[in-house]
Amino acid sequence: MIKKIKPKKKPWVCLTAYNKHIAEIIDPYCDMILVGDSMAMAYYGFKNTRSIGLSEIILHAKSVRMGVKKSIMVVDMPYNTYSTPSVALKNAKKILKETKCDAIKLEGGYKIKNIIKTLIKNRIQIVGHIGLMPQAVINSKDYKVKGKNSYEENKILKDFLTLQELGVKAVVIEAVKETIANKIQSLSSIITIGIGASKKCNGQILVTEDLLGMFDFTPRFVKKYSNVKKTIQQAVSKYAKDVIERKFPKMKNVY
């Protein structure tokens, strides 16, 4: 049964997951889990999110589905999988059918209004994504804060209002000036999820690997709650030492 995206009194806790194991760990604490195309960078190590296709996102989402019991599960539509309303509908239906997710996420606002309209008309729950849109980024230098001038501000506001009017259930607002995110919040009757936006948003989302400290570099909007990279390095170092010194395996580790 599809879980409906509805407003809640407390702030929404949102994270990404790319497999069952991570999903099982974070599910008790989350309201929404995103199978994001961010996996292209955070999981596979590619330079941008365009390297993930429909088959890859579906495969990962199937795994995540096995680990999600409580949270709303959202799946990104990869780059170039929603170029027209008909293409978007075909691919969205495929994702929903094969992954049993609750909603799909698309990047964009006014420019893709006809696509969004078609999907909603077909009773598909949509999560929007405005501000910095990673699928439009090819080089790392293009990851820039949005809303620094009136043109960008007006575009972001237009995108949000378009999505809200169309009936989108929630919108991710990424890397925009806080003043703009606050303005959006004052105009919003739907769920806003910030990532480098404002604490006034209805919820926040981070890439799980970022908050765990898997990488040396993380964006300004990330807070590291652990240093998993260091923990892994220490464990592997001890293992290598034990193997070299023939301390592993011990009697209890062999049959």
pLDDT band per the 50, 70, 90 thresholds, residue 138: confident
**Helix axes of 54-67 and 85-99: crossing angle, nearest 10 degrees:** 30
Q: Is residue 249 part of a domain?
A: no
> Is 2 within a domain?
no
Tell me the whole-structure pTM to 2 decimals.
0.96
Q: Is residue 109 part of a domain?
A: yes
> Alpha-carbon torsion 184, 189, 192, 198, what sign?
positive
Beta strands in the chain (DSSP E): 12-16, 32-35, 72-76, 103-105, 126-131, 170-174, 191-195, 203-206
Asked whether residue 232 is domain-assigned, the answer is no
Name the one residue in this structure whose structure tokens are 């919040």: 185
Q: Answer yes or no: is 253 within a domain.
A: no
The residues facing 206 across adjacent strands are 15
Integer Cα distance of 195 and 172 in angstroms:
7
The tens digit of pLDDT for each residue in 166-197 reads 999 999 999 999 999 999 999 999 999 999 99
Residue percentage of the chain with pLDDT more than 70: 100
Domain region containing 107? 12-226
CA within 13 Å, CB half, 143: 12
Report yes or no on 66 lying in a domain: yes
User: Does residue 242 belong to any structural domain of this protein?
Assistant: no
Distance of alpha carbon 142 from alpha carbon 249, whole angstroms: 49
- Answer whether 115's CB lies under 8 Å from 127's CB: no
Distance CA 220, CA 214 (A): 15
Angle between helices 150-166 and 178-187 (to 10 degrees): 30
Under 8 Å CB-to-CB from 163, ≥6 apart: which residues?
Answer: 109, 116, 126, 128, 130, 171
Any domain includes 236: no
User: Where residue 21 sits, what CATH number does that domain have?
Assistant: 3.20.20.60
pLDDT at residue number 95 = 98
| Tens digits of residue pLDDT in 77-113 | 999 999 999 999 999 999 999 999 999 999 999 999 9
Query: What is the count of structural domains for the chain?
Result: 1
Rounded distance between C-alpha atoms, residue 4 and residue 103, angstroms: 9
pLDDT mean across residues, the chain: 96
> 174 an active-site residue?
yes
CA dist., res. 124 & res. 126, Å (int)? 6
Q: Which of 174, 178, 209, 245 is catalytic?
A: 174
